[in-house]
Amino acid sequence: MTCIFCRIARGEVPSQVVYQDEEIFAFRDVNPQAPTHVLIIPRKHIAGLQELSPDDSALVARLILAAPRIAEAEDIAARGYRLVANMGPDAGQVVQHLHFHLLGGRPLRALC
Q: Long-range CB contacts (< 8 A, 24+ apart) of 40-43? A: 40/66, 40/67, 40/70, 40/99, 40/100, 40/102, 41/5, 41/8, 41/9, 41/97, 41/98, 41/99, 41/100, 42/98, 43/6, 43/9
Q: Which of 37, 97, 99, 101 is catalytic?
A: 99
Catalytic residue list contains 99: yes
Catalytic residue IDs = 99
